[in-house]
């Protein structure tokens, strides 16, 4: 079910009831987040950086035989790299993220676990992390976020905390783990698996003729 409100710039914004948590105005890039059942403006975002991604808002695809469509993305810029986190929603309203970085793709789901950032602060590239019996990951990279922006309709909050360290891990089972440490205390962990672009059966992708 869709609903609407007007941005301060006058542009109408449509959101999905009980799904949308953050939404950016396509006209002025004001970012609104759901707070006490109302969308409050929390920032004005900078434009996303052109990265020649084949994905866009309204790209559709299939995962485990279920159809989904992309409604928005967060773009995280590190000092010498970037990551897109595309928000995708299945037709039943469940959602997940597609991580995209330099042509690698993963399906990511946020884990609801309580963990102390102290447990991860000493990790270094190449180090091993055990998250369960016989379940290991290795650190591929540790990145300091420089900026974050977003576009579209997101079923997750956009965390504009200026300090964020991302620890990226993987293992030989094509599993992915992303640990984001915000400031001193907040931590969010997403787990998932790497897939090939073709595995998503994407439709309605960008026409990149002339770009690549």
Task: Find the binder of Zn ion among 23, 24, 25, 177 (CB under 5 A).
Answer: 25
- Does 27 engage in binding with Zn ion (CB under 5 A)? yes
- Does 7 engage in binding with Zn ion (CB under 5 A)? yes
Contact segment (CB under 5 A) with Zn ion among 8-16, 121-129, 133-141, 185-193 equals 8-16
Cβ within 8 Å of residue 168, ≥6 positions away? 139, 140, 141, 142, 143, 176, 177, 178
What values do phi and psi take at 199, rounded to 5? Answer: -65, -20
Give the Cα separation of 207 and 205 in Å (integer): 7
Site for Zn ion in 72-131 (CB under 5 A): none
Residue with Cβ nearer Zn ion (61 or 72): 72
Residues 157 and 80: beta-carbon distance below 8 Å: no
Task: Find the binder of Zn ion among 3, 11, 125, 203 (CB under 5 A).
Answer: 11
Residue with Cβ nearer Zn ion (30 or 176): 30
Residue with Cβ nearer Zn ion (100 or 153): 153
- Does 28 engage in binding with Zn ion (CB under 5 A)? yes
The 3-state DSSP class for residue 164 equals strand
What is the closest distance, in whole angstroms, from the C-beta atom of residue 157 to Zn ion in the complex?
19
Give the Cα separation of 196 and 79 in Å (integer): 26
- Does 24 engage in binding with Zn ion (CB under 5 A)? no
Give the Cα separation of 112 and 124 in Å (integer): 24
Give the Cα separation of 202 and 36 in Å (integer): 35
Task: Find the binder of Zn ion among 9, 40, 113, 118 (CB under 5 A).
Answer: 9
Contact segment (CB under 5 A) with Zn ion among 22-30, 53-61, 70-78, 157-165 equals 22-30
What values do phi and psi take at 118, rounded to 5? Answer: -60, -30
Could you list the residues that contact Zn ion (CB under 5 A)? Answer: 7, 9, 11, 25, 27-28, 30
């Amino acid at each position: 079910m869709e609903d609407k409100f007007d941005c301060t710039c006058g542009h109408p914004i449509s959101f999905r009831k009980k799904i949308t948590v953050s939404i950016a105005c396509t006209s002025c890039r004001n970012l609104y987040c759901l707070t006490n059942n109302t969308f409050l403006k929390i920032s004005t975002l900078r434009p996303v950086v052109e990265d020649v991604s084949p994905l866009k808002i309204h790209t559709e695809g299939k995962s485990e035989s279920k159809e989904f469509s992309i409604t928005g993305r967060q773009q995280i810029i590190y000092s010498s790299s970037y990551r897109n986190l595309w928000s995708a929603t299945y037709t039943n309203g469940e959602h997940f993220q597609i991580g995209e970085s330099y042509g690698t793709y993963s399906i990511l789901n946020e884990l609801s676990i309580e963990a102390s950032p102290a447990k991860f602060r000493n990790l270094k590239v190449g180090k091993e992390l055990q998250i369960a019996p016989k379940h290991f990951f290795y650190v591929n990279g540790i990145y300091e976020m420089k900026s974050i922006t977003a576009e579209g309709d997101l079923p997750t909050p956009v965390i504009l905390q200026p300090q964020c360290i991302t620890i990226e891990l993987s293992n030989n089972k094509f599993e992915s783990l992303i640990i984001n440490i915000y400031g001193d205390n907040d931590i969010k962990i997403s787990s998932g698996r790497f897939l090939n672009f073709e595995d998503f059966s994407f439709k309605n992708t960008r026409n990149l003729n002339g770009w690549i």
